[in-house]
Structure 1
Amino acid sequence: MKRPFGHAGSAGAAKLRGVIEARDTGSPQAGRKGRGRDFWPDDDKKPGRRLPGPKLLFGGAAALVAVAVAIVAVTMLTGGGTEKAPPRKVLPTAYTPDYDGEGFGSIAARSADGRAITEGEAFSAKNLKSGGQTYALAASDLTSDCKAATWGARLQGDLAKFGCTQIVRSAYVSADKQHVGQFIVINLNGEEGVKQVLRDLDPRTDAGWPTLLKAPGVPASGAGFSAAYAKTYGHYAVITLVERAGGAQPSSLNEMIDVSLVIENAADFLYGRLDLAATGKPGQ
């Protein structure tokens, strides 16, 4: 079985865009009708690219101003260098979870899929290509120490409670070095735990987040604007965090969604596990 619910392409993009919700609490025009479109007013001029308004952006315009200031500060302090380590405590500017788990019911519990993730599986996607975009694997880590790969006491407590045994982290960089994608898989004992972890990752909870990897040759992730998307893949939580390299504000949230859909293709190895659980044979 290959991508039973079509997470990539037009159907996946439509579903992802459809679950984006509204927040603009920091804007002085927060009470105005259609306030979500204040962030990127040119969206309405792009045929076929309109987002449902308003958009999900935690912290609103005030947060974006703070992000811009932070980017300038980081650049000034580092001299524009690219080798600064990523900040440990990173929260995305925008976050969209998907709790459905559609198509992955047969591995909703780890008892149906007990084999540990191997490095060969986790990092099999050396290059990701979709929609004219190409991303290369630039950094990777597979660990059984779920606490060491995350920050935040509440998140770490839930990871322990729901049986986290592995965390996969990968960083991908676009061919033109303009975008960076962080790909994360958390191996838990069941779908209930996945959904709780996805709730913990909501930036409003400040419960914690996985720490990000530094991709060589580009600025460290997490200092500016970023968008994260999290999904339920049976007993796995799959998370992507994407940004323009250096954290500059994107032209629209569509740009971040399109990048995320490419990066999520790194989850293909989980479809092989789904096939194995369902048929006893690896997927083709």
Structure 2
Amino acid sequence: MTVTRGSTRTRKRRRTPPPDWNLPVLTDWGLKPEQQRLLVIIASVAGVLIAAVALTAAVAALGADAPDQSRQAAAPVSGELRPERFEGWASPKVFEPIAERAKDAKPLTEKELFAQKRLVGEHKISLKLTEKTLDTDCSAALWGEQLLSQVGDAGCTQAARAAYTSTDGRYLTQFTLLNLNDSKVAGELVESLKSLHRGGWVRPVTAFPPNAHTEGGAYALGHYVALVWLSRTDGAEPEQGDDFSNLALTVRGAEKPLYKRVVALTGTS
């Protein structure tokens, strides 16, 4: 019996032919295939490096333009609440004895300012003290670049703030008192606030309703300036029966400690 052995074929893997580095342009320049290959590799590496540098520069530029979060937190928030109506008054003659802080050098105290827990006015208006604070850094109580600059130039050393709510729950008020150098800078601040209040005002110690209608006033009192801020607790505009003038007079009862200082200096009531 004859056995026929089939022929065994050896399969060989085909190698990928090397790339043809005979690029027409480079060949015209007289470059050999090896030289062309080297030039292409160098160009590729250079392209990657250039892209990396460009990306780094772009990231750095974005970082430089990005807002500083700490500065954003310290800056006043856009759309900060301020009075829609405002009036200002010069200092009455009764406060001439305390026209200069040099003659009234004793700092204000919380006990002195906030001893009266309830302020009572006409037409049965009664305001209850709900929040209070006394700062030696006046910038803690105010916002607005120009306002802060003027108050700083006026030598503000204290800013007292007190919030009062009417006992019937209808009104929210705030009284702020600034301790300045003298009556001259106090009068100048009140005059400036007639327009300046649109870009700088008091920081609330109790939140007013969002987008509330508020009214404000500034009063020079010797070397002090009092800032009054009024609103309905629902934030609505005043209606018939809402007497904001009497409300302002009532919260100004918080000025009583200044009258006591006048009496202490002059010996007369």
TM superposition shift of 1:177: 0.7
Alignment equivalent of 1:261, drawn from 240, 249, 253:
249
Q: Tell me which residue corresponds to 1:140.
A: 132
Alignment equivalent of 1:119, drawn from 110, 124, 129:
110
List aligned pairs for 1:135-284, cutoff 5 A: 135-203=127-195, 206-214=198-206, 220-221=208-209, 223-251=211-239, 255-279=243-267
1:126-182 deviation line (CA, Å, top 9, x unaligned) = 001121111100111100011121101111111111110000100000011100111
Question: How many residues are aligned here?
Answer: 192
Q: Tell me which residue corresponds to 2:66.
A: none
User: Relative to structure 2, which stretch is displaced further, 86-95 or 138-147?
Assistant: 86-95
1:20-51 deviation line (CA, Å, top 9, x unaligned) = xxxxxxxxxxxxxxxxxxxxxxxxxxxxxxxx
Q: Structure 1 segments of 4 or more deviating over 4 A?
A: none
Please tell me the residue identity of whatever aligns with 1:154. Answer: Q
1:47-102 deviation line (CA, Å, top 9, x unaligned) = xxxxxxxxxxxxxxxxxxxxxxxxxxxxxxxxxxxxxxx99822101111001433
Return closer, same or farther for 1:154/1:242 CA change in 2, 3 Å cut-off. Answer: same
Question: TM-score normalized by structure 1?
Answer: 0.63
Please tell me the residue identity of whatever aligns with 1:213. Answer: V
Return closer, same or farther for 1:186/1:252 CA change in 2, 3 Å cut-off. Answer: farther
Q: Quick check: 1:183–1:263 contact (8 Å CA) kept in 2?
A: yes
Return closer, same or farther for 1:182/1:103 CA change in 2, 3 Å cut-off. Answer: same
Greater Cα radius of gyration, structure 1 or 2 = 2
Return closer, same or farther for 1:88/1:186 CA change in 2, 3 Å cut-off. Answer: farther
Q: Quick check: 2:215–2:231 contact (8 Å CA) kept in 1?
A: yes
User: What RMSD in Å do the two structures reach over aligned CA positions?
Assistant: 2.2
- Alignment partners' CA distance in 2, 1:209 and 1:133: 26
1:241-267 deviation line (CA, Å, top 9, x unaligned) = 111112111025971111111110111
Return closer, same or farther for 1:117/1:87 CA change in 2, 3 Å cut-off. Answer: farther
SS at 1:265's partner residue?
helix
SS at 1:163's partner residue?
coil
Q: Quick check: 1:201–1:207 contact (8 Å CA) kept in 2?
A: no
Please tell me the residue identity of whatever aligns with 1:90. Answer: L
SS at 2:228's partner residue?
strand
SS at 1:124's partner residue?
coil
Q: Quick check: 1:180–1:221 contact (8 Å CA) kept in 2?
A: no
Please tell me the residue identity of whatever aligns with 1:244. Answer: R
TM superposition shift of 1:106: 1.1
Q: Quick check: 1:91–1:222 contact (8 Å CA) kept in 2?
A: no
By relative contact order (CA 8 Å, sep 6+), the higher-ranking structure is 1
SS at 1:104's partner residue?
helix
Please tell me the residue identity of whatever aligns with 2:173. Answer: G
Please tell me the residue identity of whatever aligns with 1:159. Answer: V
Return closer, same or farther for 1:107/1:200 CA change in 2, 3 Å cut-off. Answer: same
- Alignment partners' CA distance in 2, 1:102 and 1:210: 26
TM superposition shift of 1:199: 2.8
Please tell me the residue identity of whatever aligns with 2:101. Answer: R
Q: Tell me which residue corresponds to 1:26.
A: none
Matched, 1:99 2:87: no
Return closer, same or farther for 1:238/1:178 CA change in 2, 3 Å cut-off. Answer: same
Return closer, same or farther for 1:233/1:244 CA change in 2, 3 Å cut-off. Answer: same
Please tell me the residue identity of whatever aligns with 2:222. Answer: G
SS at 1:247's partner residue?
coil
Question: Structure 2 stretches of 5 or more lacking a match?
Answer: 1-76
SS at 1:147's partner residue?
helix
TM superposition shift of 1:270: 0.7
SS at 2:94's partner residue?
coil
Question: Structure 1 stretches of 5 or more lacking a match?
Answer: 1-85
